[in-house]
Amino acid sequence: MMMEKRVSPETALARCLPCIKPVDGVVLPVEEVWQRVVAADIYTAVDIPLFSHSLVDGLVLHLSDLDRLQRDKEILLSITGTIGAGDLDSPALVAGETMEIMTGARLPEGAGAIVKREEVPVKNRWAYFNQGVQPGANIKKRGSFLKSGDLLAAAGEVLGASQIEIIAAAGMPQILVYNIPAVYVINTGSELILPGEERQAGQIFASNKAFYYSLVKAAGCDPIGGKRPVKDQIGEIAGELVEGIKCSKLLIISGGTAEGEYDLVQAAFHQIGARMIFDGLDLKPGRHTAAAEKDGVLLINLPGNPGAGAIIFEILVKPLLRKLRGSTDYQNSWFELSPQDNDLPLTKRRTMARARGEIRKGQINARMIDKGSQSLTGGMLQLIVDLDPSSPAIKALLID
């Protein structure tokens, strides 16, 4: 049965996703897990905060003295000591007395509230309280943020600085995260030479390797590949595919997507016995984009044009890289643009285009990026817009 020619990008992604499995996990110190993906649910074994403590530098009131202050409106208490942050011993607080307490210091037993030091007149180690004080004022209770057994981070979450701080606050020195996956990048074209080499007539410098290495690295993966561009010969392309399959679960092949005599990537797919997943996108650009699978490894052939390749990378490859990293939130987040005030052209066929967005009156307004520009930088917001003549809505994707 002949494969359907040119599928939607949604269908292409849906066909590719089952080929992607997260890589193995590794245990790392908490200081080294920023932007890594959690490989197993993380629960706290302790309450957070670990103990009830003071939120201010102040004077601590016994529960009975707090009741007396609320009844009599004023009380005079002797200052008998100081409790500092990190003190291992917590002196007893006696009714009729008060103690100085520092921010973060453990609360003595019987404490009912804390009053800021600057709000209490003090003379000769006597403190005069004459203000209304609410029970529990300036006190952070043990377990008021998290209780022992609460979930800190779920498997598949990408760890940010705030989550890592909480994990460390729970006393965990290391956690299980997914390894950073390797992604093999192949740059095809007989006309290509490496930057820095002496150029002859008809040759150009291979820029797509550096381009896709940067995109792959920005997506949280480890780009690898051969030292040189691969010539437009089936045998050489097939050999490089075999090498990539040995060391990566996803290969990006740049160039050779068209139907010319020297566009041989798909022929190389067939030569190594890869199973075709889709053969072309019903989309501009990327009409000849294709994907195949061999021994559980996904092979994606992207356009050689870096402007077109950048768009297909964002809408198709990036979700695959997120899933390969172990993230459960791997799908792109498309949103609808307001139809008003958007400088976007009408198209006869579905087109993905780069645009710059500006926020005006709480809405994002999009403007097209010059076709001659290969970069997705330079505007307030960087977008890919989905111009589909069969749909009344204009969808957009924010480039991170």
Tell whether 29 and 170 lie within a shared domain.
yes
User: Residue 312 is which amino acid?
Assistant: I
Cα dihedral 212→214→219→222 (10° resolution): 90
Q: Are residues 314 and 237 part of one domain?
A: yes
Is residue 2 assigned to a domain? no
In total, how many domains does the chain have?
4
Other Cβ atoms closer than 10 A to 161:
8
> Containing H/E element for 397?
strand 394-398
- How much of the chain is helix, strand and coil, in % rounded to 5? 20, 35, 45
Distance CA(219)–CA(306), nearest Å, equals 17
H-helix or E-strand spanning residue 126: strand 126-129
Distance in angstroms (rounded) separating the CA atoms of residues 256 and 288: 9
Answer with the one of 325, 349, 371 that is the final residue of a domain: 325
Q: Which residues contact 307 (CB under 8 A, 6 or more apart)?
A: 285, 354, 371, 373, 374
Residues 186 and 271 in one domain: yes
User: Would residue 4 count as lying in a domain?
Assistant: no
Q: List alpha helices for 226-376, DSSP H.
A: 234-247, 265-271, 306-312, 318-325
Number of helices followed by number of strands (H, E) in the chain: 8, 26
Are 171 and 195 part of one and the same domain? no
Q: In this structure, are 319 and 227 located in the same domain?
A: yes
Question: Would you say 124 and 12 are in contact if contact means Cβ atoms under 8 Å apart?
Answer: no
Same domain membership, residue 219 and residue 75: no
Q: In this structure, is residue 1 part of a structural domain?
A: no
Q: Which two tokens stand for residue 308?
A: 């077109």
Question: Which pLDDT value is given to residue 259?
Answer: 61
pLDDT at residue 251 in the model: 98
CATH number at residue 98: 2.170.190.11
- 171 shares a domain with 202: no
Residue 379 pLDDT: 46
Residues 148 and 261 in one domain: no
Residue 3 lies in a domain: no
Residue showing tokens 């917590």: 90
Retrieve residue 94's tokens: 């006696």
Whether 370 is in a domain gets the answer yes
Does residue 174 share a domain with residue 200?
A: no
pLDDT for 376 equals 47
pLDDT at 55: 98
- Residues 269 and 292 sit within 8 Å (Cβ to Cβ): yes
169 within domain boundaries: yes
Domain co-membership, 171 together with 37: yes
Tens place of pLDDT for every residue, the chain, 400 residues?
A: 456 779 999 999 999 999 999 999 999 999 999 999 999 999 999 999 999 999 999 999 999 999 999 999 999 999 999 999 999 987 889 999 999 999 999 999 999 999 999 999 999 999 999 988 999 999 999 999 999 999 999 999 999 999 999 999 999 999 999 999 999 999 999 898 888 889 999 888 889 999 999 999 999 999 999 889 999 999 999 999 999 999 999 999 999 866 666 579 999 999 999 999 999 999 999 999 999 999 999 999 999 999 999 999 999 999 999 999 999 999 999 999 876 667 787 788 999 999 988 887 777 878 777 655 545 444 478 999 999 998 888 899 999 8
Residue 391 lies in a domain: yes
* pLDDT score of 344: 80
Residue 143, CA distances (Å) to 23, 50, 103, 109, 112 in order: 35, 7, 17, 16, 17
What pLDDT sits at residue 128? Answer: 97
Instruction: Report how far residue 244's alpha carbon sits from residue 274's, in angstroms, rounded to the nearest whole number.
Output: 13
* CA gap 94, 216 in Å, rounded: 63
Rounded-to-integer distance, Cα 36 and Cα 47, Å: 25
Residues 174 and 188 in one domain: no
Residue 82 within a domain: yes
Q: In terms of domains, do 105 and 43 share one?
A: no
Closest Cα partner for 58 from 79, 38, 72? 79
Provide the domain limits for residue 362.
334-398
